[in-house]
């Protein structure tokens, strides 16, 4: 049975640009309601490892890319996308301070009762354990905001509507 968590609304402000090498850069600003502090995810979609000390998760090593769905290794991450989806965003994070813990996130679009939503599937695995955590986050698309003066920059706004924990 699926469990749905009710929580504060989280608005994502996604800014997409390119660097001088042609790499796609994503800044994903998370703005929770209720005065909770937000955060910004900075992603370079080139699958090169980036190490940093994250405020919540400690020392991590992350990689980000655009990938064909059939190239994903995990069957659960491959499934559930809108019909015709060929490529998705894939983020993989190794939690260095928690040896063996890996979080993978795949972002794409789904249809729920005929309505198109942005979605994020999150899979957390721990080496030596057969118990995975699988989470699906569904977002309402709020539209594109003002385009800044930077050439090629685009901002999209979405709100988290529900989080589904899969058993």
Tens digits of residue pLDDT in 138-163: 887 776 654 333 344 444 555 555 45
Residues composing the chain: 167
φ/ψ (deg, to 5) at 166: -95, 135
Supply the pLDDT for residue 137.
Answer: 85
By C-alpha distance, which of 64, 63, 60, 41 is closest to 52? 60
Tens digits of residue pLDDT in 37-75: 777 888 999 999 999 887 777 889 999 999 999 999 999
Instruction: Break the chain into its structural domains and give their ranges.
Output: 3-166
Percent with pLDDT over 70 in the chain = 80
Q: What is the DSSP-derived secondary structure letter of residue 79? A: S
Tens digits of residue pLDDT in 119-129: 899 999 999 99
Whole-structure pTM over 0.75, yes or no? yes
- Secondary-structure class of domain 3-166 per CATH: mainly beta
φ/ψ (deg, to 5) at 68: -70, 140
54, 32 Cβ separation under 8 angstroms: no
Could you give the count of Cα atoms lying within 13 Å of 118 in the half-sphere of its Cβ?
Answer: 16
Residue 62, exposed/middle/buried by CB under 10 A (0-12, 13-18, 19+)? buried
Provide the 3-class DSSP secondary structure of residue 71. Answer: helix
Kindly indicate the confidence band of residue 15, based on its pLDDT and cuts at 50, 70 and 90.
Answer: confident
């Amino acid at each position: 049975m699926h469990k749905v968590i009710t929580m504060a609304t989280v608005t994502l402000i996604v800014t997409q640009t390119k660097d001088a090498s042609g790499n796609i850069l994503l800044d994903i600003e998370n703005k929770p309601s209720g005065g909770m502090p937000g955060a910004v995810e900075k992603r370079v979609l080139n699958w090169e490892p980036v190490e940093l000390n994250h405020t919540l998760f400690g020392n991590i090593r992350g990689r980000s890319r655009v990938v064909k769905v059939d190239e994903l290794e995990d069957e659960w991450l491959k499934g559930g996308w809108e019909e015709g989806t060929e490529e998705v965003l894939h983020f993989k994070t190794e939690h260095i301070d928690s040896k063996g813990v890996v979080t993978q996130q795949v972002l794409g679009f789904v249809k729920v009762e005929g309505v198109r939503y942005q979605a994020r599937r999150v899979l957390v695995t721990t080496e030596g354990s057969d118990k995975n955590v699988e989470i699906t986050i569904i977002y309402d698309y709020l539209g594109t905001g003002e385009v800044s003066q930077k050439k090629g920059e685009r901002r999209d706004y979405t709100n988290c509507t529900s989080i589904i924990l899969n058993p």
